[in-house]
Amino acid sequence: MSKFNFPFIKETNELSNLRKEVREFITNCINNNEFTPSPDAWVFSADPSFSKKLGSKGWLGMSFPKEYGGHQRTALERYIVTEELLSSGAPVAAHWIADRQSGSQILRYGNEKQKSSIIPRITAGECFFAIGMSEPDSGSDLASVKTKATKTKNGWKLEGRKIWSTGAHLAHYMIVLARTSPASEKNRHEGLSQFLVDLSLPNVKITGIPDMTGQRHFNETLFDNVELSDDSLLGEEGKGWKQVVGELALERSGPERFLSHFTLLDSFINEFRNSLIHSGTKIVGKLISEIQTLRRMSFSVASMLQNGEFPETQAAFVKELGNKFEKMMIETLREFSNIVPLHEWPNQLQNLFEDATLRIPSNSLRGGTTEIMKGIIARQLGLR
């Protein structure tokens, strides 16, 4: 079992300088009260004006080609920027999906019009995306989607429902996975296609679904016979499965899989440093060792993406390990409350902790469940 390697990638001086630059920018924003660091910010904390600011700094669509307004920088540079944003709890939710996966998906499969009309706006931090994969009856079993696109004289007619779409209420577009022809008996993965859907079109209805924390980020989107133009098809008709699998690789390997609650850990350590020196060196060491390992692995996947490889399985490793780490972290902090009882923690820290505790079950669901990750790995090991 040595086929899944994560080669060591060094952070060059150039990358470290970029890191410094981003960090200074963020510190300034915090000092000017432009945002308050918050947990799980890439899902919950959307601020379009902050996204626009990042766009003007050149930190969105970093690896996109210059001809579409991108910056032609490397996936490693993008990795550094996202790490800094995540670790500081910056409000990145508005543009997160567009910058992480939708933009790359359009660049890879889109036609000229799609690329030239959308990519420059993503890069400017002015165009946001939502994910159109899950449906009320299709969760982990993504190939069973029932949303249907039928050919019409002028294009396509889209009919169906998508659910759990984070930020759809703020997004301009959704990449929708739909059936364009019935599944063949042998292969359910055939007959699926991806569509680039403008969410402002008539007959698109977006309804919020409060999650268990009471906040809204989830949405259900109804496509009630939405008329799509001919060039709404993204990529090739019938090749939607292959495309969506590639999109998921972009979704799963990033540092948001282990840095979602870093602000909590950071505040925790700053607050309790003195007690930790006496009775918590071991737990701090355990957390450090796990974060550093994950950072190395995730950075290594970024370099695979940069080299044009297809690290679907490696992404599953990072996600699985990252999800586990976040759960372990919450439990570890909880254990510490026998040294300083929870009710004696400062209010803000208590809130962060409770927030994280509430939100943590979602981390091993979004982007593919633990069971799906293990299934992907098992297939690669030749067990399925």
Closest approach, Cβ 370 to other proteins, in A, equals 8
Interface characters, 325-364, with other proteins (x: CB under 8 A): ----------------------------------------
List 210's β-bridge partners, or say none: 216
Q: Which of 59, 79, 129, 317 binds other proteins (CB under 8 A)?
A: 317
Of 88 and 104, nearer to other proteins (C-beta) is 88
| Residues between 51 and 90 with contacts to other proteins, criterion CB under 8 A | 83, 87-88
Tell me how far apart the alpha carbons of residues 3 and 22 are, in angstroms, rounded to a whole number.
35
Residues 243-278, buried b or exposed e (16+ Cβ, 10 A)? bbebbbbbbbbbbbbbbbbbbbbebbeeebeeebee
Tell me how far apart the alpha carbons of residues 10 and 6 are, in angstroms, rounded to a whole number.
12
Contact 38, 44 (CB under 8 A): yes
Element (H, E) at 131: strand 129-132
Question: Do strands 192-198 and 204-210 pair parallel, antiparallel, or not at all (unpaired)?
Answer: unpaired
Of 241 and 272, nearer to other proteins (C-beta) is 272
Tell me how far apart the alpha carbons of residues 379 and 381 are, in angstroms, rounded to a whole number.
5
Q: Is 251 a catalytic residue?
A: yes
Tell me how far apart the alpha carbons of residues 86 and 256 are, in angstroms, rounded to a whole number.
7
User: Using the rule CB under 8 A, is 8 a contact of other proteins?
Assistant: yes
Q: Which of 124, 142, 281, 367 binds other proteins (CB under 8 A)?
A: 281
Q: Please identify which of the residues 84, 251, 290, 320 carries the catalytic annotation.
A: 251
User: Using the rule CB under 8 A, is 264 a contact of other proteins?
Assistant: no
Q: Which of 273, 335, 339, 346 binds other proteins (CB under 8 A)?
A: 273
Contact 267, 333 (CB under 8 A): no
Of 220 and 320, nearer to other proteins (C-beta) is 320
Contact 131, 218 (CB under 8 A): no
Closest approach, Cβ 11 to other proteins, in A, equals 8
User: Using the rule CB under 8 A, is 19 a contact of other proteins?
Assistant: yes
Please compute, for residue 8, the number of CA atoms within 13 A of its CA located in the half-sphere on the CB side.
4
Residue matched to tokens 């996975």: 177
User: Using the rule CB under 8 A, is 227 a contact of other proteins?
Assistant: no
User: Using the rule CB under 8 A, is 372 a contact of other proteins?
Assistant: no
Q: Which of 47, 266, 271, 312 binds other proteins (CB under 8 A)?
A: 266
Tell me how far apart the alpha carbons of residues 130 and 119 are, in angstroms, rounded to a whole number.
15
Pick the closest to residue 175 from 262, 282, 100 (CA basis). Answer: 100
User: Using the rule CB under 8 A, is 10 a contact of other proteins?
Assistant: yes
Interface characters, 286-305, with other proteins (x: CB under 8 A): x-xxxxxxxxxx--x-----
Q: Supply the DSSP symbol for 125.
A: T
Q: Is 152 helix (H, G, I), strand (E, B) or coil?
A: coil
Of 57 and 273, nearer to other proteins (C-beta) is 273
Binding site for other proteins (CB under 8 A): 1-2, 4-8, 10-11, 19, 83, 87-88, 262, 265-266, 269-270, 273, 276-277, 280-286, 288-297, 300, 314, 317, 320-321, 371, 373-375, 377-378, 381-384
